[in-house]
């Protein structure tokens, strides 16, 4: 149930285990030491993968963030690793000086600094925890398959709820504010307010569906490298469908939808960069510098056109 709730973004940042040293089976001073994040989904995945191996798991305090994101944000970093080695008295517990880290922790760790400050050598394991037994059998060597991170349809599908829930939560606040405005302009008539609110409702629904669901699922086939561009493309298609189905809207209202839906879809899809290894921190920052102003401008322009059409009734 905890994993299900975390997948839907409910208490996700609190779904964590205590940082420290854990024993799997009956480890000895010669047993391998695996390092991971304290996000419980990550910890459980590693624990299941090495259940048959007598080993140690050194859990870093990443504030409940997974390995890849924590490495990018600095919480799965050199300082935390060195501090956790010292706090757990790992040097007194094991007689070797090797730590097996997830490959995706690489952006946050400086192996030479860890060696210099703690005496422990950093060895990067395979991308997937399930490959760890084979990695150990191969003498701590990973082949090309173990070093390759794929991002298949099922993996992207599993992340869709986490994208939908925050988008819907934010959208509801915006929708509620606009409905109150419509209600006031309609002279406190609910039926008339619902008619006024049709354009914002369609814009919110279509942009969330396009940016939070279709963009992740169709990611490899959408044009462009930037996620905002991918969201813009699928958002424009969604806008065309909405406009073609809405026969009662004025030309101005249809134009508002054609502008605002792609802009909001691009913003929602851009948030998916945090769920993918397709991007880097520097790349995301560069993308946001050019995409965010355009997304805000597009949403604002759509809102303005809708307001003009509304007052023109």
Q: Coil, strand, or helix at residue 18?
A: coil
What CA–CA distances, in Å, run from 61 to 6, 39, 48, 135? 18, 9, 20, 25
Classify burial at 218, counting beta carbons within 10 Å of its beta carbon; exposed 0-12, middle 13-18, buried 19 or more: middle
Comparing 8-12, 28-32, 52-56, 240-244, which segment has the lowest mean pLDDT?
8-12
Residue 212, H or E segment: none
pLDDT in tens, 27-54: 999 999 999 999 999 999 999 999 999 9
User: Is the predicted pLDDT of residue 313 greater than 80, yes or no?
Assistant: no
* Domains of the chain and any CATH numbers: 2-147 (3.40.50.11600), 153-311 (no CATH)
> Cβ(260)–Cβ(299) under 8 Å?
yes
Q: List the Cα angle 255/258/259 in 5-degree steps.
A: 90
Convert the pLDDT of each residue in 142-187 to its tens digit. 999 999 988 899 999 999 999 999 999 999 999 999 999 999 988 8
Cα–Cα distance between 11 and 14 in angstroms, integer?
5
* pTM for this predicted structure: 0.83
Greatest extent of the chain over all pairs of C-alpha atoms, in Å: 80
Average pLDDT value for residue range 250-273: 95
Q: How do 20-24 and 33-37 pair as beta strands?
A: unpaired
């Amino acid at each position: 149930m905890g994993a299900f709730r975390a997948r839907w973004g409910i208490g996700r940042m609190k779904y964590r285990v205590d940082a420290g040293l854990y024993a799997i089976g009956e480890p000895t001073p010669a047993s391998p030491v695996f390092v991971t994040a304290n996000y419980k989904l990550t910890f459980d995945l590693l624990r299941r993968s090495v259940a048959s191996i007598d080993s140690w798991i050194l859990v870093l305090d990443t504030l409940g963030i997974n390995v890849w994101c924590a490495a990018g944000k600095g919480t799965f970093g050199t300082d935390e690793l060195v501090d956790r080695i010292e706090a757990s008295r790992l040097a007194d517990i094991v007689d070797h000086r090797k730590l097996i880290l997830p490959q995706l922790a690489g952006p946050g760790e400086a192996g030479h600094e860890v060696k210099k400050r703690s005496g422990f050598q950093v060895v990067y394991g395979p991308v997937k925890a399930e490959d760890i037994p084979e990695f150990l059998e191969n003498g701590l060597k990973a082949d090309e398959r173990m070093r390759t991170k794929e991002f298949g349809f099922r993996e992207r599908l599993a992340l869709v709820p986490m994208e939908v829930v925050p988008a819907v939560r934010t959208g509801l606040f915006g929708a509620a504010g606009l409905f109150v405005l419509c209600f006031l302009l309609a002279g406190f008539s609910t039926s008339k307010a619902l008619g006024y609110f049709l354009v914002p409702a369609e814009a919110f629904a279509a942009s969330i569906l396009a940016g939070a669901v279709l963009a992740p699922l169709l990611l490899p086939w959408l044009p462009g490298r930037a996620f905002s561009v991918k969201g813009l493309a699928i958002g424009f298609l969604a806008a065309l469908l909405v406009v073609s189905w809405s026969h009662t809207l004025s030309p101005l209202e249809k134009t508002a939808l054609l502008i605002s839906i792609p802009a909001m879809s691009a913003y929602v899809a851009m948030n998916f960069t945090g769920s993918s290894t397709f991007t880097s921190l520097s790349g995301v920052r560069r993308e946001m510098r050019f995409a965010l102003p355009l997304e805000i401008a597009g949403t604002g322009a759509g809102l303005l056109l809708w307001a003009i059409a509304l007052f023109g009734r």
